[in-house]
């Protein structure tokens, strides 16, 4: 049995950024994700991932604002699925095996242009992933780019 606390997110926000409205929502969303605990149970015949969600996380999804760098999950002219990372230096898609913050995002409406070098702010429904066969613990559904 392997018991780990997984840090899915570690957002560090400066005091100046915390003073702005968007940064407070960002810090709360990344911090909420960071508090999810994962327990991986492996036997000779079974595999299970148990997740313990913070009490502040709504099991039906809750509206949050979050900021980060986004990359498309799939190639194509219209993008509806993204991976959001809190810091490009920790991006799992950029070759860093010691990554931290990442969140799958499904957009409410497809987009055709995405500048992967700039931070974006999203609003959507942060929803737990209850599947016992994956480490993925949360997804941002029905998201809209607000900045």
Identify whether the C-beta of residue 132 lies closer than 8 Å to the C-beta of residue 40: no
Residues of the chain with pLDDT under 50: 1-27, 99
C-alpha angle 43/45/46, rounded to 5°?
A: 65
pLDDT of residue 100: 55
**How much helix, strand and coil, in percent to the nearest 5, is found in the chain?**
15, 40, 45
What's this model's pTM, rounded to 2 decimal places? 0.75
What is the arrangement of strands in the sheet containing 2-4, beginning at the earlier edge strand?
2-4, 37-42, 47-52
Amino acid 28: pLDDT: 81
């Amino acid at each position: 049995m392997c018991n780990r606390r997984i840090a899915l997110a570690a957002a560090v926000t400066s005091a100046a950024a915390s003073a702005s409205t968007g940064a407070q929502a960002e810090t709360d969303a990344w911090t909420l994700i960071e508090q999810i605990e994962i327990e991986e149970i492996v036997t000779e015949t079974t595999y299970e991932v148990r997740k313990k969600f913070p009490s502040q996380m709504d099991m039906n999804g809750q509206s949050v604002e979050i900021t980060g760098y986004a990359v498309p999950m799939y190639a194509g002219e219209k993008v509806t699925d993204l991976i959001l990372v809190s810091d490009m230096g920790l991006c799992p898609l950029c070759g860093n095996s010691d990554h931290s913050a990442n969140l799958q995002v499904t957009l409410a409406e497809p987009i055709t242009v995405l500048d992967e070098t700039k931070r974006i702010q999203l609003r959507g429904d942060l929803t737990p992933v209850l599947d016992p066969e994956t480490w993925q613990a949360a997804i941002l559904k029905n998201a809209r780019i607000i900045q």
